[in-house]
Structure 1
Amino acid sequence: MNQTVDFPNKTNAVVSLPLRFVLIIPFVFQIFLAVGLTGLFALRNGRKAVDNLVNQLQEKVTEEVEQHIDNHLALPQQINETNASLIQRNLLDLEDRESVQRHFWNQLQIYGEYTDYIYIGYAEGGFDMATLEANDKSTIQFSETLSAGKSLIYSVDKNGYPDQYIDSYDYDSRGRPWFKGAVEKRATFWSNAYLSKQIIPNFATTVSLPVYKDNGELLGVVANDIYLTGISDFLKDLKIGKTGKLFIVENTGFLLGTSTEDPTYFRPDETAPAEQILANDSSSEWIKESTLYLESQLGDLNRIKVPQRFQWQFAGETYFLLVTPIRNEQGLNWSVISLIPRSDFMAEIEANTRQTIILCVASLFIATVSGILTARWISKSVKLVSTTAKDLSEGNLDVKVPTQSLQELDILAQSFNAMSHQLKASFNSLELANLELENRVQERTIELEKEKERSEQLLRNVLPETIAEQLKENQDAIAEHYDEVTILFADIVGFTSLAERLAPLELVNLLNQIFSQFDSLVESLGLEKIKTIGDAYMVAAGLPMHREDHVQVIAQMGLAMLDIIESYRRENNSDLQIRIGMNTGMVVAGVIGTKKFIYDLWGDTVNVASRMESSGEAGRIHVTQAVYEKLQDIYHLELRGLVEIKGKGEMQTYWLLEKKSVEI
């Protein structure tokens, strides 16, 4: 049967494109777009990753410097506080001046590595002083009376008693900056740094503390001079990336130390005394130019209250520049400035980017040639099928579409050949397809239910169950106030040096091994793990559900953590240790934000717990007075004494030792 099919006439002109063109152009465009975007995002992500890495490195190095400075400067304050306490308790009699002088001399025998002058200036202007000179010879210097006036210098014998007269001079302690500063502040006072008068000068600073009677009458000012050489030596041992550098500037603008061998003082001539160098006038270009840049951006380094970051162009390089203030209420006012060139981290990334671009261009060329050849092959087969289809539409039903090498075109040919049969069977196929679709929908529904259960389980692993339920009901910010919560912070001691010795995978495995045991403790004790940040571990008790024994159970957790570390040390012959800090009190806890939910705590209680850890000692649990009052009847605790806590001042703290045995 021949039947002719009439095709409608084209009344509107339609632009028709060759199949070869339609296949090649989009294919090549997609490859070009994918290659270009891949290279662009690779470079941008590489730069972003480098920026984050450098920021973390600078923060870690600056934190080490701050910690070292805090530790180094703690001793002179302790010496002054000890002497003031002895005087106020009448254990050091100021009327027995010979005993005062010998007491200072004895302290020099212990602390001579850090200070060579320990003394007291009396309210009337006189003074008593013990010194350790450059030739390791000791002297005793004192005014003839407690009033200002003639002062004498004596050498001392091996027992610290005055031996031979050396010289005399007039002196009034009341006019000295260290005396006036302490009296004005009525507290510890730090003088500006200065250079000692030795052949090889050392930076030093004077730390003074006023001493009063119970009625408020001034007895005098105790003081000592401490060398800052140890800080410079520490800076030179720092490794800041490949070529990173760091220096410290005082509020006066003078350099105090650098991580390089650049000079921090100069002599106008060989016989002249050494003079300090202003950072913005240093002979070292990188110190001078970076200081001038910061002054142009900030106006005055003394005005900054929090760390400031900059990207600075110098000598054709981009430097990451971080300035961090070190301040205290007693007058200490320094700035730590670190610089790391981007090239320390970007050189390899940029080389890989160039190789990626070359490979992408080569791939684009190969893909284009391949696309052209493939398009020719496909268009030839399509043209054969379309010619046969046209014959069929004109009524030539005897024409058969030949078998095609391409599967899709072969299916099309078979469709033309068996169209009538397929049309008849299409209804049965449609019914079967509907049934299969229903089965698939049911299977998919079951899969979605399982996925929902897995998602909810994951949410319960990240957040407390009650918080997770609230979050599912309402995704607004969740915050609750808790009157009694105990918090524990733990931090691995020496993590930076450990990270330098171990490969990254070994370091992660070590942390996972230890923190997994901590997690088991948390689960067995019914505590709430808050988070881990690097090598730090934070856990709390008393939330989100209140429990009466929140302090005791956190104490139990801390002691168990020390046991875990001790077991690891024995089994692995390791020197690994942790510091632990505890505090109890009021907090606010909850979940904020809309992305990457995390359950966190806020409040002064959290800050003090963190300070307990950072100011503690390796292998010990450092606790506050509030924790002591809760545990003193159940646990053995040891008084540590008054400790200067950053941001809080002096606090009475204790060491948690062990649980008391039950008496039967």
Structure 2
Amino acid sequence: MLNRLRIKSKLMALLVGVSLGSLVVGGTLSWLRFRQAFQRQVFDHLTSVRASKGAQIESYIKGFQDWLELLSEDRTVISAMVEFNAAYRSLQNEEIPNEWIEAIETYYGRDFLPDLAENVEGPQIVANYRPLSQASQYLQYHYLVGNAPSNEGDGASSTDDSTYAQHHATYHQTFKNLIDQYGYSDLYLIDFNNGEIVYSVNKRPDFATSLDRGPYRRSGLSDIVAAVRDNPGRGFVQVVDFKPYVPNVAAPVAFLATPIFNGPHIVGILALQMPPDRLNAILVGTQEWEEEGLGETGQVYVVGEDALMRSQSRELIEDADTYRETLRNIGLSSQTVDLVYNLNTSVLLQPVDTEATQAAMAGETDTKIIQDYQGKSVLSAYAPLKLEGLRWAILAEMDRSEALGPITMMQIYMGTLAVIITLVAALLAGLVAQAFARPVRRLIKASEQLQTGESTLDVSVEGSDEFAQLGASFQTLSQKIKDQNQLLKQKELENETLLKNILPESIVTRFRQGEQPIANTIQQATVLVAKVLGLAQYSSSETTTTALSALISDFNKVAKQSGLEPQSMADETYLAVCGLSEVYFDHKQRGLNMAQEMLRIVQSVNSRYQVNLSIKIGLHAGSFVAGVVGTELFTYKLWGKTVAIATQLPEQAEPNQIVVTQPIYERLKDRHQLSAHGSVKADDMEMPTWHLVTDKVPVGSSV
């Protein structure tokens, strides 16, 4: 059917088809590359934010532990522990008036339990929480009941005149200043033997209770006391993950603790209460998410090994009502949703059991598109946190719809552009086809004149249109031009091959462009010089040539794989450089790898060709000059002190031995066993040398 079309119609169809095809192929490839690059850019940013926040959290927790260790060794803390222990014991025989007990019960029934009941299930009765020992009743009456209802007073008592009050007056302000300065919730001094909290700064209901027998014996604070008792080493800081803590009306709290030593004796336990506020301050900062590149939906959060959040959700901070609806939609109970709002936190309440969380808890660090805890598709960058005693992971995420929004806009733009280009291409194709068909017949006539005198012309071209006639007329001329072009290309390839055998590939382009002179200063590279021994002992030139050819061929293959560039093979000496045309930060290691492979190649050649060759290899790193020398008969030369030193090294080596200089040794001494060898002269100084010990191959050995 195409043969029946006129050339104008064919040309129009061709131009429109090519334009549309190019647009589709080019547009699709561009869009795919743009999508991949843009997605990678978003992942890189999320990874950067995640790594930065993670490092801050690790530093914060580590600093917290170090500070607690130092604090436990402070004489003030030690003295306070000893004196509070003694004062606490002296109160065990105090007579407690009934009105004190009634005041304590009134405090629990009126002030504490109503607040607690909002956050815990089941009935709460005073009998489960009131203190029973005389010391507990005495201290809670003077220091807890007197501070009600806020429990956040200065922690002092105006009614206590005991020895305990004297010690309290001595130390309390110091401890209060400490926790206020560093932002911790509370500080505890605990009797190591019976778990009695003999002192706390903020005097909550846990004050003056026993963590062994009292109402909080199953709390996070009792857990950390047990951990210290199990591992009571000096300077060992234990940490317990966030758990609901009843004295804080069931708010999530983590604890750190360490033993207190007075000389060789353990006199107590120092514990600190860590709220999630400091972690939130690191992750949320000033709540400027968009300025941090997290857009409208991005957030960074921490998850524990139970797949529950350890930090605040961005949605809770920005839009509490929407967050409430989100929690209901993902199936959380009404009690849990209410607790989130009562405590104003998502810590230990928001489950995040996602693919990213599971992978991070398994020790993986990666980026992936996943379904988040709301079922939304998000871009997630995740990693485990390196925290002693805690299994946490940190995740930086952004909704896919927002993160990849520019890609959707790109699709719309490209679709619109495709329609416009197609219409324009069709219009231009019509104009071009009309203009192109007009001179075709004149070209046919001219081509026939060029063929005058040619009697053997026999062109069989299918079709009867103008292009068929034009093709027949120019067939012979085209064939001749084709033959000439093939000959020229063959010559160019031969010349190119010869140039690349003489010059590095990066220099060939400059040489062909006529650049003169060509010389470069190579700042950091490794020069390998090897000398092959044993060729002269073979009288048969064929044996020598065959073995040497195989040797050099294998050397060059390994050089290419290792990133080295062979430079010369003369007088049984082989020279190669790593870092000449392309910069390698590990050029010293690559050079040593190449040298080790050369030892193995010599063994292989000995085995294959029944010869007994050996090799001595030297490696030196530094700067030198490389350039093209000569005009008509040119060559590529390396010169400088680095090359001169490297050239001396094979003379020092034993057969099948690798000798390196100081720069190589300093870089690789931790990875390879190197032994002192001697020295090489560098200007007026002697530079020490070393030889490789672990991979040394016996002389004349074969595979």
Q: Of the two, which has the highest radius of gyration? A: 2
More helix by proportion, 1 or 2?
2
